[in-house]
Structure 1
Amino acid sequence: MKKNKAVFLDRDGVINEDFGYVHKIENFYIYDEVFPALKKLQDAGFKLIVITNQSGIGMGYYTEEDFKKVNEYMLKTLKERGINIDKVYYCPHHPEGTVPEYRMKCNCRKPGTEMIEKGVKEFNIDTTKSFLIGDKETDIEAGLKMRLKTALVKTGQGINYYKDTKAHYVAENILDAVENFILKEGKD
């Protein structure tokens, strides 16, 4: 069976502006560059998989239901532009969470790799032909552990990490990462 290639995408700070614990539709702003960037990836045959730490759930700042509403809005908005996200994996946990059911150390919270592992398994992904785009070093670490090629974007929190990152590429934004790194490196 033919393996697929994928781009694993962090959400807050990569796809949308990160105001800290984004959990309301009225505060969910997708960066303009996201639409052409994801369309180019989709057209190039990449599976699009979102992997997002949502510790605000575990900290009690918002509910899983709040997250799901914002997620549905994001998927609908992208779909209206012809972009299909294949899957969204999220981690609601936090080791010091205030919500008992979510207070734990887990391997799904990045830099843990469980969300990526699930995507690799569910979509039969070839990690040697796949990428990760994140705005935090924990994103990059998770990608490197899974042998993905990684890009750190300076949007979101990336401006704080780019000088010392272990990422393969530092991008101004997601479109830069796609055009100048992924599409050049990821040719079949």
Structure 2
Amino acid sequence: MPLGHPGLPGLPGLPEAVLFDRDGTLIHDVPYNGDPDRVRLMPGARAAVDAVRARGLPVGLVTNQSGIARGLLTRGAVQAVHKRLEELLGPFDVRAVCPHGPADGCLCRKPAPGLIRTVCAALGVDPRRTAVLGDIGADLAAARAAGARGVLVPTPVTHPGEIAAAERTAPDLLTAVRGVLCASAGPGGDH
């Protein structure tokens, strides 16, 4: 269901926090990127993050970085990319990184809910009052598993089945954020 309508079912009131996936959502997806010079913001990323901050809401980052487990990235390289991301977008209230590979069976790697639950606990917010924005089905599956509200912002690499399965989609990141923030304007919503 598209966002942007006040009182949207499943989105009662303003969220307590907004969490963003990194690659393909906030920055262009460069596989296993450990080079800060290759960080490029997705269209509307700065405006979207600024809009969340303007409402006084915490901003979190939740990202799978299996390149660490595969030996293609170091934790330091991931931190360097995050430092560059924060130079472009400002600081995040909290960040959570899953360094595991798909076969590791961890509880943090999206589509598991661990990253979202960890960030919500660090922020002291209820996952059910948290919005998660991402570009692939694993982002939404993690949100659903944690009890959060997921919004899919498709890119050319998003599979059509993921788009069809998404409860909420938006054509771009800023529209997604505006929809999440406008959900509070309906009857019974927070103002």
TM-score normalized by the length of structure 2: 0.82
Aligned to 2:182: 184
Aligned residues: 172
C-alpha deviation, 1:148, in angstroms: 1.4
The 5 A counterparts of 1:76-155 are 76-79=87-90, 84-96=91-103, 104-155=104-155
1:40-51, aligned counterparts within 5 Å?
A: 40-51=51-62
Q: Tell me the secondary structure at the aligned position of residue 23 of structure 1.
A: coil
Which is bigger in relative contact order (C-alpha 8 A, separation at least 6)? 2
**Unmatched runs of 5 consecutive residues or more in structure 1:** 97-103
Q: Give 5+ residue unaligned stretches, structure 2.
A: 1-14
- The residue that corresponds to 2:33 in the other structure is 22
Q: Aligned partners of 1:177 and 1:129: how far apart in 2?
A: 16
Cα separation, 1, equivalents of 2:125 and 2:59? 11
Tell me the TM-score normalized by structure 1: 0.84
Farther off after superposition, 8-17 or 60-69: 60-69
Residues 134, 140 of structure 2: 8 Å contact kept? yes
Aligned partner letter, 1:87: V
Aligned-partner SS, 2:152: strand
Q: Map Cα deviations across residues 142-171 of structure 1 (whole Å, 9 max, x no partner).
A: 1011221111011363354543223x3211
Amino acid at match of 2:183: E
> Which residue does 1:169 correspond to in 2?
168
Between the aligned residues of both structures, percent identity stands at 26
Task: Write the distance in 1 (CA, Å) between the matches of 2:38 and 2:97.
Answer: 19
Q: Secondary structure at the match of 2:158?
A: helix
Would the alpha carbon gap of residues 161 and 76 (structure 1) be closer, same or farther in structure 2, given more than 3 Å must change? farther
2:73 partner SS: coil
> What secondary structure does 1:125 align onto?
coil
SS in 1 for 2:67: helix
The 8 Å contact of residues 66 and 102 in structure 2, kept in 1 or not, is answered as no
Residue by residue, what CA displacement relative to the aligned partner does 1:62-86 show, whole Å, maximum 9, x if unpaired?
211111111111112222xxxx310
* RMSD (Å), alpha carbons: 1.8
Check whether the contact 1:110–1:142 (CA below 8 A) recurs between aligned residues: yes
Change (3 A) 1:95 1:17: closer
- Closer, same or farther: CA 22–156 of 1 in aligned 2, 3 Å: farther
